[in-house]
Each structure stands twice: as C-alpha cells, then as structure tokens.
Structure 1
Amino acid sequence: MYEFDVQDMTCGGCAASVTRAVQRIDAAARVDVDLAAKKIKVESSRTLDEVRGAIAGAGFPVTGAR
C-alpha cells in the first residue's frame, strides 16, 4: 500500500478526481482519501511512480510518498 501527501485537495470533487485518475491506470485499485489530513492511501498493482504520476497528471502534485 502506498501513501501520498497531496496538499491541493480541498473537496469531495478533488477526492473523486484523484480516485478516477488512479483507477484509470488500475481499475482494481483501492483508493482511500482523507481530505482533512490531505492524504491518499492506494492499494494497487502499479508501481509507486505510476500511481504518483496518475495523481499528478490529474492536477494534484504529490508532496510526499511512502
């Protein structure tokens, strides 16, 4: 499981956009968004860099990843 810090998320629409972006590259991915903490947890078969790229490509720069 990967965890990302994404400071630009502010609303449910942001959470939905991030979720769609990740599931576009891995339809089976589990995405858990915590808007208050500005964190995303992703369980995916894709690499950390691929998932980070999908999130950034949706307009949400990742400031930290584990």
Structure 2
Amino acid sequence: MSAKVTFDQERCKGCELCTSVCPKHIVAIDQTVINRKGYHPATVTDIAQCIACASCARICPDSVITVEKV
C-alpha cells in the first residue's frame, strides 16, 4: 500500500502539530519554501515511508492536509 499526502501549502501556517504526531517522523517544515502568508509550510520528506495513518490530517487545525491510500 502506498499513500498520497497533499498539503495546501498556501494555507499552512507552519504550526508543526502535524510534525509532532507522525509515527514515521516524515512530516517536516519545509525551510526552503515561504508561502504568501509568510510561513514555512509542512511537507512529507519521504512519501515511501508514509503508512497513510492520517494522524497529520486529523490534528491539523486548518484542514490543509489530505491523505489518500493509493
């Protein structure tokens, strides 16, 4: 099973809640990108390791993360 994780990077405020709940520790703040609101958005660093648990999506206060099993 593989996963597809999508972040609405323009709406992400970089609160890091998603990074704290990922059991695989593959969600991180992307220090190379700044969105139009001035925040560094979250991203997945190694999608091959993602188990599609959706913990990141559930904890996101702004619902900017979508997790799909593919």
If each structure's helix is expressed as a fraction of its own residues, which one has the higher value? Answer: 1
After TM superposition, the score normalised by the length of structure 1 is: 0.47
After TM superposition, the score normalised by the length of structure 2 is: 0.46
